[in-house]
Amino acid sequence: MTPAARILLDGRDITANLIPAPFGLPLEGGGHVIPGGVLGGGPLLSLTVQDNEGKKSDSCELEIDNREYISAPGKGSKLQVSLGFVETGVNYMGTFLIDSWTKKGRPKIMTVTAKAAGLTTEIKSPKSRSYHEKSVDDIVQYIAGRNGLSAIVNGEVGGIKIDHIDQSSESDLNFLTRLASRVGANFKLADEKVIFNKAGSGMLPSGGAAPVFMLTEIGVTDWDCTGSTRGDYKSVEAAWHNIKKGEREWVKEGGGNPVFRSRKLFKTKEEAEAQAKATKGALARGKKVFAANFLGRTEMFSGAGLTAIGFDPDCDGSYTIKSATHRLNDQGLTTRISCETAGEGSDDFWGGGGGG
């Protein structure tokens, strides 16, 4: 397999500047050929794209040979990256905004880091607002709009009604993360969009089924799998305040012991039920984690499913990809994935909890 790449800076194709011919020969249909995975005499030393599910922002990093002076890029410049192979074509990896650069010696190297487009100063600045009797979709669409972004919200998550929630001197970034935890969603910024998806659902934010990739031990460089007792809770309970009765009531997701009890008191039964369901799924998702390195498969992305086959009877099975890291360097194009057992729910338990 022959690696290929395409790199645009503010809409201008700079691939040939970083990987000059004959190693960076143009590829019909877009991108540049990198024969044998060798980057050649050009300044690009490595290119890494990391795609994450949940709170952690997607990122891109370029490592550049700076022995012959190359000016540092402007902060906020837009970087668009595609990676893949000549035989299968390149896959669009995303749009990123340059966040910082570092120069060091010896040897002289410049490292350029970029974050998912949408992670701006504005979305990280403190704001205050109250939302009363609004759906999750209403709230997310409003916040996306005031930051000049569009939003994609999973229909089931978007339909959840929030009785009341306050944003007090809190950034939109932190508030959306907190809201996602409350309703069992994953929130991320990508391609100038706010994405709210149901965590571990195996669905795309738009509502279609996420692809499930097959992976066997053949061709895998190395892998590891770890099991834990985190997912051993059989049920989850969450409390809400019944105003009419003036007392606390409990809702339950699942059945049997041991029981995980949320410490947060919710205002409505619907919110308590959503949190109990989210927490139950999150506990199930943490039961087993799996990671592997192999020849580049740039079609893999966070949130997609993975079926591991032929590794070990205790490790084979279905997972959700939590992160996918694609790296191009002189060794070729490689991918590393980190996964966890499937289960619907957020990564964080609002208010914590304990066994019962």
Please indicate, yes or no, if residue 204 is contained in any of the structural domains.
no
Q: Which of 62, 94, 114 is the last residue of a domain?
A: 114
Of 151, 168, 198, which Cα lies nearest the Cα of 54?
198
Please indicate, yes or no, if residue 314 is contained in any of the structural domains.
yes
Q: What is the CATH number of the domain that holds 142?
A: 3.55.50.10
Q: How far apart are CA 83 and CA 39, in angstroms?
A: 14
Task: Based on the fold, state whether residues 243 and 275 are members of the same structural domain.
Answer: yes
Residue 302 sits at φ, ψ, to 5 deg, of -65, 140
Task: Based on the fold, state whether residues 1 and 83 are members of the same structural domain.
Answer: yes
Q: Classify burial at 71, counting beta carbons within 10 Å of its beta carbon; exposed 0-12, middle 13-18, buried 19 or more.
A: exposed
Please indicate, yes or no, if residue 330 is contained in any of the structural domains.
yes
Q: How far apart are CA 281 and CA 346, in angstroms?
A: 7
Strands 305-309 and 212-216: parallel
Type of residue numbered 25: L
Q: What pLDDT, on a 0 to 100 scale, did the predictor assign at position 234?
A: 79
Task: Specify the 3-state DSSP secondary structure of 326.
Answer: strand
Q: How far apart are CA 252 and CA 246, in angstroms?
A: 20
Type of residue numbered 95: T
Q: What pLDDT, on a 0 to 100 scale, did the predictor assign at position 219?
A: 87
Q: What pLDDT, on a 0 to 100 scale, did the predictor assign at position 102?
A: 95
Q: What pLDDT, on a 0 to 100 scale, did the predictor assign at position 13?
A: 87
Q: Are 45 and 65 in contact (CB under 8 A)?
A: yes
Q: What pLDDT, on a 0 to 100 scale, did the predictor assign at position 217?
A: 94
Q: What is the pLDDT along the chain (356 residues), one digit of tens a residue?
A: 788 888 999 988 888 888 765 445 555 555 555 544 445 567 889 999 999 876 677 899 999 988 888 888 888 889 999 998 878 888 999 899 998 999 998 889 999 999 887 777 788 889 999 999 899 999 999 999 988 889 999 888 888 888 888 998 999 888 998 888 888 788 888 888 888 888 767 777 776 788 999 999 998 999 999 987 665 777 888 998 888 888 888 998 888 888 888 888 888 888 888 778 777 777 766 678 999 999 999 999 988 889 999 999 999 999 989 899 999 988 889 999 999 886 544 444 434 444 44
Task: Based on the fold, state whether residues 125 and 87 are members of the same structural domain.
Answer: no
Task: Based on the fold, state whether residues 105 and 8 are members of the same structural domain.
Answer: yes
Q: How many Cβ atoms from other residues are within 10 Å of residue 315's Cβ?
A: 18
Of 279, 200, 183, which Cα lies nearest the Cα of 237?
279
Task: Based on the fold, state whether residues 93 and 184 are members of the same structural domain.
Answer: no
For 74, 245, 259, 299, the CA distances from 235, given in Å and listed in that order, are 51, 26, 5, 36
Please indicate, yes or no, if residue 350 is contained in any of the structural domains.
no
Q: Which of 93, 114, 135 is the last residue of a domain?
A: 114
Task: Based on the fold, state whether residues 216 and 325 are members of the same structural domain.
Answer: yes
Angle at the Cα of 330 from the Cα atoms of 113 and 14, rounded to 5 degrees? 50
Q: How far apart are CA 300 and CA 53, in angstroms?
A: 12
Task: Based on the fold, state whether residues 110 and 88 are members of the same structural domain.
Answer: yes
Task: Based on the fold, state whether residues 162 and 55 are members of the same structural domain.
Answer: no
Task: Based on the fold, state whether residues 237 and 223 are members of the same structural domain.
Answer: no
Q: Which residues contact 83 (CB under 8 A, 6 or more apart)?
A: 3, 4, 5, 47, 49, 90, 91, 93, 296, 298, 326, 328, 333
Give Cα 248 distance to the centre of its chain: 36
Biggest CA–CA distance in the chain, Å, is 77
Number of domains the chain contains: 4
* Structural tokens at position 23: 């190693």
Domain range holding 317?
Answer: 210-227+285-339
Q: What pLDDT, on a 0 to 100 scale, did the predictor assign at position 343?
A: 56
Of 265, 260, 262, 261, which Cα lies nearest the Cα of 248?
265
Please indicate, yes or no, if residue 345 is contained in any of the structural domains.
no
Please indicate, yes or no, if residue 355 is contained in any of the structural domains.
no
Q: Which of 97, 114, 131 is the last residue of a domain?
A: 114
Please indicate, yes or no, if residue 202 is contained in any of the structural domains.
no
Task: Based on the fold, state whether residues 124 and 85 are members of the same structural domain.
Answer: no
Q: What pLDDT, on a 0 to 100 scale, did the predictor assign at position 104?
A: 93
Please indicate, yes or no, if residue 26 is contained in any of the structural domains.
yes
Q: Are 280 and 238 in contact (CB under 8 A)?
A: no
pTM, rounded to two decimals: 0.77
Task: Based on the fold, state whether residues 335 and 218 are members of the same structural domain.
Answer: yes
Task: Based on the fold, state whether residues 186 and 297 are members of the same structural domain.
Answer: no
Q: Are 316 and 308 in contact (CB under 8 A)?
A: yes
Of 5, 13, 3, 11, which Cα lies nearest the Cα of 82?
5
Q: What pLDDT, on a 0 to 100 scale, did the predictor assign at position 272?
A: 84
